[in-house]
Amino acid sequence: MFVTKKHLPRRTFLRGIGATVALPLLDAMIPARTAIAQTAAAPQPKMAFIYFPHGAVMDQWTPATEGGDWEITPILQSLAPFKNRLTIVSGLENRHANGPVHAITPGTWLSGVAPRVSHDPYGGVTVDQLAAQHIGQDTPLPSIEVATEETKSIGAGVCDRNYGCSYGATISFRTPSTPLPMEFNPRNLFQRLFGQGDTPEERKALARQYTSILDLVQSEAADLQQSLGPEDQRIVSDYLESVREIERRVQKMEAQDFSHLNLPNAPVGIPNSFDEHLNLMFDMTALAFQASITRIATFMMAAEVSNMTYNHLGVADAFHPLSHHQNNPAKMERLVRIQKYHTDVFAKFVGKLADLPDGDGSMLDNSIILYGSNMSNSNAHDHFPLPSAILGGGCGRIKGNQHLKYPDRTPVSNLLLTLLDRAGVPVDTVGDSTAELAEV
């Protein structure tokens, strides 16, 4: 028997003038007669922390029963196809979010540390950045931070006279004093993933010279395809087509930019554009995982104190005012509609990961995703019990298909510590953690 498989390095790129396109895992990257787990192509855990503001209507989020015999609740209904990879964790609290409500709620979700009273930020390193330090250093981008709304455009609601504005605008801190900006512009994110150039100005100049990043690497892509087997050729073709489609959507959104016109202020919220924007940012995050551009992502699905409207759902109310529902059943029903919509879009992202091969399983099998909020009842502005869901198999280290109810006011840091452990990140504590959650 002759072994003729050609071996490609795991970190193979298509390069052109002003562009670098990473490739997904291919069969040709695995040495012949070698198990995937024994190679550099062995699947590595991907971690995503997906944040939605203004909490959840908890009786529409929390399953009625515990353990493995539980039923999907209305807000989470679209995650039913992934129930075997879904764990709901109840009873958690983040007491460090107590204070000026929206101004410190996002920035304390992933740290478990109370921020210092100062306009100069000083809180805690967030778990996404702890993960980036340990499992993100051999990818082009150790982490990406994604959002859908520019927080400075929504007024002073995310700021506080004692704490400033830093904690309301991001969920990611690289150091206690270094909040990371969330990228809300699709073109900027696309260029960060695929563009080349030492500065944003250089990348913009390069982008103006060419209509497509893929056009820059077309010749090298054709040469690569000739050296691959049929299955690898299909994978590369499908992947590059996904890049092309996202690029087309980014360009289409740019064509609708009226910033060069002297127009009056637009009405608050453009729901159709928001829907496209939200889906697009999720698709680019999935693409970044597929190509191993990064293994760590944080995502703010909407801004804190968001005044986005959801007319495409039949909800004309602005999001934040509606979250102050005063226990009005009609308002709560509309709020649940928004919360269910967020889960619906998130579920599409989960589905993409489930469909992407990764080693001997899927991308979802090798992911650890925390989907939740740092607020519970938005009308009460409380931080217990937090809505928290885990998606993914964590390379075989996350059990799935569970509703775990812990003693009331268990620190959410215990869950954060557990997720880092399942990803192989060697830390002893996170914030005010007291123990790992062994059942996860």
CATH of the domain at 174: 3.40.720
434 in any annotated domain: no
| Predicted pLDDT of residue 138 | 83
Spatial distance between the Cα atoms of 213 and 187, rounded to a whole number of angstroms: 12
153 in any annotated domain: yes
437 in any annotated domain: no
What lies within 8 Å, CB to CB, of 81 at 6+ separation is 347, 351
Amino acid at 290: Q
DSSP sequence for 148-209:
SS-GGGGGGGG-BTTTBSGGGS-S-EEETTEEPPPB--HHHHHHHHHB--SSHHHHHHHHHH
| Predicted pLDDT of residue 373 | 98
What lies within 8 Å, CB to CB, of 179 at 6+ separation is 107, 121, 166, 167, 169, 170, 172, 173
More confident call, 234 vs 45? 45
More confident call, 212 vs 149? 149
131 in any annotated domain: yes
Average pLDDT, the chain: 84
- Res. 216 pLDDT band, cuts 50 70 90: low
| Predicted pLDDT of residue 409 | 98
Q: Write down the pTM of the prediction.
A: 0.80
Q: Give the tens place of pLDDT for each residue, 154-167.
A: 333 478 888 888 89
- The mean pLDDT of 411-426, rounded to a whole number, is 97
More confident call, 314 vs 203? 314
- Res. 252 pLDDT band, cuts 50 70 90: low
State which residues form the domain around 401: 42-182+278-422
| Predicted pLDDT of residue 255 | 55
Q: Give the tens place of pLDDT for each residue, 53-88.
A: 999 999 999 999 999 999 999 999 999 999 999 999
Q: Is the pLDDT of residue 338 over 80?
A: yes
376 in any annotated domain: yes
271 in any annotated domain: no
| Predicted pLDDT of residue 271 | 34
34 in any annotated domain: no
Number of domains in the chain: 1
25: left (phi over 0), alpha (psi -120 to 50) or beta: beta
Q: Is the pLDDT of residue 378 over 90?
A: yes
| Predicted pLDDT of residue 264 | 36
100 in any annotated domain: yes
Q: Give the tens place of pLDDT for each residue, 1-43.
A: 233 445 566 666 666 655 666 677 777 776 655 555 555 557 7
Tokens describing residue 369? 């995703």
Share of the chain above pLDDT 90, in %: 55
Question: 121-125, 147-151, 429-433: which range is least confident on average?
Answer: 147-151
Residue 18's nearest CA partner among 194, 193, 144 is 194
Cβ contact 136:181 at 8 Å: no
Q: Is the pLDDT of residue 430 over 50?
A: yes
CB half-sphere exposure, 387, CA atoms < 13 A:
27
- Res. 253 pLDDT band, cuts 50 70 90: low
- Res. 226 pLDDT band, cuts 50 70 90: confident
Amino acid at 262: N
More confident call, 400 vs 254? 400
